[in-house]
Amino acid sequence: MSVRALVVKSAGAVAALAAAAGLLGAAAPPASAAPVRPAEMKFYDDYWTEAECRQVGEWGKANGRWTIYVCQFSGWDYDLYYDS
């Protein structure tokens, strides 16, 4: 078996495994699924974990500081935005 045939056969096996696992042909999330900070929201603070960001966000809601909040991943931490 030639090297080219082996590569093609291996690639086919990988594709078959990925398809069986549901990895190929999976629908991409809609564009609106990506968190986007609305212009009217204000930055509050940043947090190392999403859990910490959500905890502070819930605290703000419970104490009447804001009615909605968003924790958005910025690339290495989570930014908390709230409505005014």
pLDDT digits 0-9 by tens, 7-22: 334 445 444 444 545 5
What is the pLDDT, as a whole number, of residue 36?
59
What is the pLDDT, as a whole number, of residue 39?
74
The pLDDT-based confidence of 40 (bands split at 50, 70, 90) is: confident
* pTM as predicted: 0.55
What is the pLDDT, as a whole number, of residue 10?
44
Amino acid type, 71: C
**C-alpha distances in Å from residue 1, one per residue of 4, 7, 13, 34:** 8, 10, 16, 47
**C-alpha distances in Å from residue 51, one per residue of 48, 54, 78, 79:** 9, 5, 9, 12
What is the pLDDT, as a whole number, of residue 84?
76
- Judge whether 71 and 80 are in contact, CB under 8 Å: yes
- The two tokens of residue 10 are 């291996």
State whether residue 79 is helix, strand or coil. strand
